[in-house]
Structure 1
Amino acid sequence: MAADPSMRRARGGWGRAGAWLVWLALALLVTGCAGLPAIVERPPSFTLADTADTPLARMATKGAPDVQLSGFRLLPMPAYSMHARLELARRAQRSIDIQYYLVQNDETGRYLLRTLRDAAERGVRVRVLIDDLYTAGADELLAGLGAHANVEVRLFNPFPAGRDRLATRLAASLFDIDRIHRRMHNKLFVADNAMAVVGGRNIANEYFLRDAGSNFIDIDTLVTGAVVPRLSSLFDVYWNSPYVYPVQSLAAVGGSLRQLRERFEELTWDAAIWMPSAPIERDLLGYRALGEDLDEGELSLIWARAEAYADAPHKALGPKEDRPRVTADAPEGVLYNVRRMVRSAEREALITTPYLIPGRGGMESVRRLRERGVRFTLVTNSLAATDESLVHLGYRRYRPELVKLGVELFELSPKRVEKTKRFGVFGSAAGRLHGKSAVVDGKAVFLGSLNFDPRSDLHNTELGLFIYSPQVAAQLTSLIGFITMDAAYRVRMDPKGNIEWVSPAEDGGPDLVLHEEPETDFGSRLKLEFFAPLVPESLL
């Protein structure tokens, strides 16, 4: 898994690398090195199972053809995806559990946190679990939320000191790099142990078409039915693990509980008057906004058999002897089950991933499938679209071989995303792919947090859904088709064996064929060439 936006903003451009290193050195002198608190009270708690009498639980099972099936509604459009989370939070009566790699301290993040606070004030138990990598400067905000009755906030794999800035955090843990680069990349939102949202989106402006610089094309799904208790149990494993710490055990925030609550109000007042983008009349798949269906008591869902998997927390942080030596061989993990599903393909495999570094195992999977005549399609970011140029460097090492094997390879075009209105109005903001999905033989679907790169394979924890439904598969295939038709370059080889990019003509004329990385300048390509021999694949 490559870094998400806040880390990319923290890293800045390559031209600032020297200043960044100087800042780290100075910060190290100031903070020194620190350790996590040795004694921490983290009272165990578990999913509230007695929620069958709540309105969400009753709606979740209404119309289910079988108690062993789960209901799904794909959420490809940002406004609908955020609306679904907010509606679940507003309608929950017993519990809300959320688990995210990133809850940004921006308008989107603060609005959701206020919505959770409002739920807690109605008596709903709220548990918030966030990876600590991108919470720099947010201790007051999170401690203020946790100061409300019925709310508890915990952080996964936290930084022990220098918490106000990413630079001082890194400096304080400079001799603990092997720990701090291992992160919880899971994304999960569960209300009343009855309905959930799972997928690729974190909680930040750029995931919901509210960022001025760049926004993501992504995919989530609403989930009800049999698989939701399984998702809740996976949340409990993380919540009660020794690798999470209550925010109050880390944050040096003074004041009484009342003062912390007042400070939370001050820090989020802007969100009280800020509204997320409203859903339009229908989304790309013809669904109404979730709230409209819930108001009318008729929830449009596709029912199917499903499984949910999450990597165990010790994959990232357990003793080295307890970590899976080859994570692809861990049957309870996400990667194992994705590979199992993809390698079972008999006719066609279709994969989207923003960060693609297949590695030896991935290339072996592609080779086996192509030898059996399986059609294989990959959709990823172009150099112009990616927010991680170094990860693109790892990907391009495999690009020629992928094309030679007959893979249908597509790379997202920011300019084409800007022109199409199918995924929303991006305006001048760059469009980037962030969705992680797979469709096999038109009947099996993967959706989750896993990227197809070494970081997701080896270092971070992930969560994923496996849905066995021709209907869901057809919908996801259609959505991916919109990307390949409207917003991507087709990558192929010319007669001399050089990579070229093809953009379909808009006026019915000849296709546009490019022979250099599209929509990039000479400087960005030169920087990539400079770093090419310096960056080992294992660090990407």
Structure 2
Amino acid sequence: MSRGRHALALLLALACAACATLSPAQRTHSAQIAQAARATALDCDRADACARPSSLHRLGARAFAQSAPGAPRHYALLLDQGQDALLARIDLIRSARTSIDLQTYIFDEDDAGHLFLDELLAAARRGVRVRLLVDQLSALKRVDTLAALAGAHANFSLRIYNPVLGRARLSYPQYLLAAACCWQRLNQRMHSKLLLVDGTVGITGGRNYQDDYYDWNDEYNFRDRDVLVAGPVAQAMAANFQAFWDDERSLPPAQLHDVGRRLLRSGVPALPQAPFEHPRRVAQVARAADDSARIDALAAAALPVGAVAYIADLPRKHRAEQPLPAPASGELRTLIESARDEVLLQTPYLVLSQPAQDLFRALHRRASPPRVIVSTNSLASTDSFITYALSYKYKRRYLRDFGFEIHEFKPFPADAPIDLAATGATLPPVPSEEEIAQARARLLAARADDGAHAQRYRRPLQSEYAALRYARRSANERVPLARAGVRIGLHAKSLVVDERVGVVGTHNFDPRSDHYNTESAVVIDDPAFARALAASIRRDIAPGNAWTIARRPDPPLFSGLEYTLAKISERMPIFDLWPVRYATSYEFVPGPDCPAPRSPFDPAFGVCHRPVGDFPEVALGLKPLLTRIFTAFGAGLAPIL
């Protein structure tokens, strides 16, 4: 047999294997196996399921007691610190009396994931109904783990959203097959995130269930944000979760080919008990969650607010008849349109859909346009350099046509809400600028290709882009930097309008959030909350934490010609090859005449800021070159990125 025929036969065999499904009888049998294995014994015989008292949980009861028809009362708590977000979740799970509903995009099997699974199963054994809804592509990577959870306990239920090819897990070849046969469905992901306890207190925001979101990774962590909300809006959260849980795309793992086959072959396995990578850290957090004084301090920081809205897409967003824009996108645009003075926008991926571009262009054309301040990632901090390349392509449009004031997050911010001690990393001393320059020179001299790194980088499971989820390692790695350290990447998705309305959620304000992902967000119309959220975002754009993007100085010769050629090149969907971009990165230089940073549109901006290049902190190599290649040829990827 020729090589071509052999490859074709192999591909055909793979396709047949990947597309194989359980028969109705097999699905019934595998479900029966899981059902029969579920323990029914409880560790508690009390009516309250031995729930631990919690001041965070009591916020819900207090809010309902203070609410009246037409006058709801809520309590809202920003969770900026990863460790606070971790403790708040554990505390609420331990305080649950009747129900826990958890919905997420990523649920890893690292220390954080195992800790949360242990807490959820412990709650189920106390007598709490626990429902865990996860997306297929990025949750619970071991089939044995899924099979074990399928039969773990009568009070614990797991469903997997949108399992393409009828499988819980996809190998790389199966992913390629799914991309070939079912590209649209493969990209339709459940990006919504919610933890709802007893129908009274909920947490939503950017964080998934993985070390990187709680300051537990020794190489790369996300600067993220959640909001805890207690009060009547929890009823809307519960209804939205129920819609996903009941949807035909949400399936128990026992009904899926790989998990079902595992159950039919050898029954329900024991839950894998891999040791924690950092057991002392896990034990410390578990004890901290029992520290009532620490939880009381968190609860005391909650702000009393009035009406709260939960804007969330439904599963019907993934049906052909769903009108656009989807609820989350449409309501966020309406809110932005209402701005009079200022829009403060934070997104990790500054790639705007066409309707969003039209919206911001119209805002900028007003007689008195609102100021639009954007916090986003730099190439050095992002976890998706391909997405950054498209942001890089449209900098002229963002600055000139939309009037954006863009601040790009630094990979080693001076003042971010990250607990570096919690990462467990051995931190090198902060180098001087001269030492950074020397390190960059040594790196360039030593490297013949992009294979040598200034530090090691783990392949990111947490990439929130389905199109890249199973891409080549080199496509998914973050760019190498000129110096080592615990890198921080922005992942928070928030919005403040006129310091009167604050939004925290999962929406990235990008085409993927508009068209492919389901999204959710909490909208709080309260000046005190809006000011607190604005202060958090302004911290991220402070000079020690971010570079400012502004127009380059005009070249001494032919500046008009250069600008015209660059503009023409940018408008090309492909072959955007002009080497000089409209804008670059600037660092604030304080001085007697520069006590504070200036707007990039201030005529004196150049007096107080110095240019630091297009890709500061990045070690020159293939990744900046690839960034420029995707800038030139990747515009067609914008809808899925």
TM class by smaller structure = 0.7 to 0.9
Letter in 1 for 2:537: I
* Residues 343, 371 of structure 2: 8 Å contact kept: yes
Q: Cα offset for 1:146? A: 3.2
Q: Where does residue 193 of structure 1 map in the other structure? A: 199
> CA separation of 1:454/1:290 partners in 2, compared to 1, >3 Å: closer, same or farther?
farther
Q: Where does residue 315 of structure 1 map in the other structure? A: 317
Equivalent residue runs for 1:174-185 within 5 Å: 174-185=180-191
Q: Cα offset for 1:258? A: 12
- Report which stretch shifted further, 159-168 or 120-129: 159-168
Q: Where does residue 73 of structure 1 map in the other structure? A: 77
Q: Cα offset for 1:513? A: 1.9
Q: Cα offset for 1:506? A: 7.2
> CA separation of 1:237/1:463 partners in 2, compared to 1, >3 Å: closer, same or farther?
same
C-alpha distance in 1, partners of 2:273/2:267? Answer: 11
> CA separation of 1:380/1:276 partners in 2, compared to 1, >3 Å: closer, same or farther?
farther
Does the alignment pair 1:493 with 2:494?
A: no
Which consecutive residues of structure 2, in runs of 5 or more, have no partner in the other structure?
1-6, 33-46, 428-484, 555-562, 564-581, 595-607
C-alpha distance in 2, partners of 1:70/1:257? Answer: 50
* Residues 145, 272 of structure 2: 8 Å contact kept: no
Matched position secondary structure for 1:384: coil
Q: Where does residue 622 of structure 2 map in the other structure? A: 523
* Residues 120, 126 of structure 1: 8 Å contact kept: yes
Q: Where does residue 293 of structure 2 map in the other structure? A: 292
Q: Where does residue 410 of structure 1 map in the other structure? A: 407
Q: Percent identity at matched positions?
A: 26
Match of 2:220 among 214, 222, 236: 214
* Residues 153, 247 of structure 1: 8 Å contact kept: yes
Bigger Rg over Cα: 2
* Residues 311, 462 of structure 1: 8 Å contact kept: yes
Q: Where does residue 342 of structure 2 map in the other structure? A: 348
> CA separation of 1:268/1:30 partners in 2, compared to 1, >3 Å: closer, same or farther?
farther
Does the alignment pair 1:205 with 2:205?
A: no
Q: Cα offset for 1:512? A: 3.8
C-alpha distance in 2, partners of 1:277/1:362? Answer: 45
* Residues 37, 160 of structure 1: 8 Å contact kept: no
> CA separation of 1:529/1:58 partners in 2, compared to 1, >3 Å: closer, same or farther?
closer
Q: Where does residue 247 of structure 1 map in the other structure? A: 253
Letter in 2 for 1:82: L
Q: What are the Cα deviations for residues 390-425 of structure 1, in whole angstroms up to 9, with x where unaligned?
A: 11122223211221243211111113x2x4364332
Q: What are the Cα deviations for residues 233-291 of structure 1, in whole angstroms up to 9, with x where unaligned?
A: 10000000001100111114646999746x2152467687651774999xxxxxx9995
TM-score normalised to structure 1 length: 0.83
| Aligned residue pair count | 495
Match of 1:160 among 156, 159, 165: 165
Q: What are the Cα deviations for residues 471-518 of structure 1, in whole angstroms up to 9, with x where unaligned?
A: 111111111111111310011113426312122247989644223222
* Residues 351, 391 of structure 2: 8 Å contact kept: yes
Equivalent residue runs for 1:39-78 within 5 Å: 58-62=58-62, 65-67=66-68, 68-78=72-82
* Residues 77, 299 of structure 2: 8 Å contact kept: no
Matched position secondary structure for 2:182: helix
Q: Where does residue 456 of structure 2 map in the other structure? A: none
Does the alignment pair 1:303 with 2:304?
A: yes
C-alpha distance in 2, partners of 1:152/1:258? Answer: 21
Does the alignment pair 1:144 with 2:139?
A: no
Match of 1:376 among 372, 378, 388: 372
Q: What are the Cα deviations for residues 88-110 of structure 1, in whole angstroms up to 9, with x where unaligned?
A: 11111111100000101111111
Q: What are the Cα deviations for residues 315-335 of structure 1, in whole angstroms up to 9, with x where unaligned?
A: 12x2x2x132xx32x4xx111
C-alpha distance in 2, partners of 1:476/1:88? Answer: 23
Q: Where does residue 273 of structure 2 map in the other structure? A: 266
> CA separation of 1:137/1:280 partners in 2, compared to 1, >3 Å: closer, same or farther?
closer
* Residues 111, 276 of structure 2: 8 Å contact kept: no
Matched position secondary structure for 2:273: helix
> CA separation of 1:279/1:141 partners in 2, compared to 1, >3 Å: closer, same or farther?
closer
> CA separation of 1:298/1:458 partners in 2, compared to 1, >3 Å: closer, same or farther?
closer
Q: Cα offset for 1:373? A: 2.2
C-alpha distance in 1, partners of 2:99/2:272? Answer: 22
Matched position secondary structure for 1:376: strand
Does the alignment pair 1:538 with 2:606?
A: no
* Residues 99, 189 of structure 1: 8 Å contact kept: yes
> CA separation of 1:147/1:410 partners in 2, compared to 1, >3 Å: closer, same or farther?
same
Matched position secondary structure for 2:208: coil
* Residues 396, 583 of structure 2: 8 Å contact kept: yes
Q: Where does residue 285 of structure 1 map in the other structure? A: none
Q: What are the Cα deviations for residues 166-194 of structure 1, in whole angstroms up to 9, with x where unaligned?
A: 31431452412221121000110011111
Q: Where does residue 462 of structure 2 map in the other structure? A: none
Matched position secondary structure for 1:242: coil
* Residues 144, 272 of structure 2: 8 Å contact kept: no
> CA separation of 1:81/1:530 partners in 2, compared to 1, >3 Å: closer, same or farther?
same
Letter in 1 for 2:585: W
* Residues 137, 165 of structure 1: 8 Å contact kept: no
Q: Where does residue 14 of structure 2 map in the other structure? A: 30
Which consecutive residues of structure 1, in runs of 5 or more, have no partner in the other structure?
1-22, 44-49, 282-287
* Residues 341, 498 of structure 2: 8 Å contact kept: yes
Equivalent residue runs for 1:319-330 within 5 Å: 320=320, 322-324=321-323, 327-328=324-325, 330=326
C-alpha distance in 2, partners of 1:393/1:484? Answer: 21
Q: Where does residue 359 of structure 1 map in the other structure? A: 353
* Residues 385, 412 of structure 1: 8 Å contact kept: yes
Q: Cα offset for 1:31? A: 4.7
Does the alignment pair 1:82 with 2:86?
A: yes
TM-score normalised to structure 2 length: 0.70
**What RMSD over aligned residues (CA atoms) do the two structures have, in Å?**
3.4
Does the alignment pair 1:462 with 2:519?
A: yes
Q: What are the Cα deviations for residues 445-473 of structure 1, in whole angstroms up to 9, with x where unaligned?
A: 11111112111111111111111111111
> CA separation of 1:377/1:168 partners in 2, compared to 1, >3 Å: closer, same or farther?
same
Matched position secondary structure for 2:216: coil
* Residues 141, 267 of structure 1: 8 Å contact kept: no
C-alpha distance in 2, partners of 1:253/1:505? Answer: 63
> CA separation of 1:256/1:219 partners in 2, compared to 1, >3 Å: closer, same or farther?
same
Q: What are the Cα deviations for residues 376-402 of structure 1, in whole angstroms up to 9, with x where unaligned?
A: 101111111111111112222321122
* Residues 353, 514 of structure 2: 8 Å contact kept: no
Q: Where does residue 4 of structure 1 map in the other structure? A: none
Q: Where does residue 476 of structure 1 map in the other structure? A: 533
Match of 2:587 among 503, 506, 512: 503
Equivalent residue runs for 1:410-449 within 5 Å: 410-415=407-412, 417=413, 419-420=414-415, 422-425=417-420, 427=427, 428-449=485-506
> CA separation of 1:210/1:274 partners in 2, compared to 1, >3 Å: closer, same or farther?
same
* Residues 216, 431 of structure 1: 8 Å contact kept: yes
Letter in 1 for 2:612: L
Letter in 2 for 1:412: F
Q: Where does residue 334 of structure 1 map in the other structure? A: 328
Matched position secondary structure for 2:615: coil
> CA separation of 1:274/1:259 partners in 2, compared to 1, >3 Å: closer, same or farther?
farther
* Residues 348, 377 of structure 2: 8 Å contact kept: yes
Letter in 2 for 1:402: Y
Q: Cα offset for 1:295? A: 6.2
C-alpha distance in 1, partners of 2:194/2:102? Answer: 6
Q: Where does residue 40 of structure 2 map in the other structure? A: none
C-alpha distance in 1, partners of 2:76/2:338? Answer: 23
Q: Cα offset for 1:357? A: 1.1
C-alpha distance in 2, partners of 1:112/1:257? Answer: 29
